[in-house]
Chains A and B, each alone.
Chain A
């Protein structure tokens, strides 16, 4: 689904990613973890074609970025740590707008369906501005899956959520992933990442330093490895 080879991204003179290789097979749920500033968000922004790579090859479902980004964006669903929603519109209007941008068919039905998945049906006609952070994030996930994307990218989805809201989000993430979609999530929360993902990749020094499949290590070992890789 995702194939990244030798990816380099520099902001000005400062390299963030230095020859990164990264593969994700179809149906996998991969969590990319790493300390702040390691380049997790940068990696995701390149995968979403919001940033262009300085060097290296990036393919999504066989489509080369940034050249074929238009086609790639169709199969991508993105949930960022910002909600990407309009505060002065209701949930219904927000989803309707993005549905039209993506050309979703049977939009009314799909909006109802998505709202019930993210458990926001009761707030359908309320302004997004008045939502709590957790509700905004749930609606943002609704926006991300609205057009039935094959590949979902979550950028620090737990940012700014209280523990209850974060647990609810986890349920949602698992449900979304179980529908057979490929998911890539960045996080700085190692524990959550380890519980959710089928594979945890540790990003350090601008590269994927380690890649751990679920069940390979227990939580303590994973934590220790993480600190060894990122601190050492």
Chain B
């Protein structure tokens, strides 16, 4: 194979390689965004809860 004059036909392997490289990077990016969203939702929920809790504490 290595003795051939013309370059080896390895386009499919290249495609596969880049799917893995870019795919993994993309997945990680998605996971970062996802985790960030979840935390922001938690934060909003906490804001709501503390808004509810505080007046009731003062009234008692």
**A–B touching in complex (CB under 8 Å):** no
B interface residues, Cβ below 8 angstroms from A? none
A interface residues, Cβ below 8 angstroms from B? none
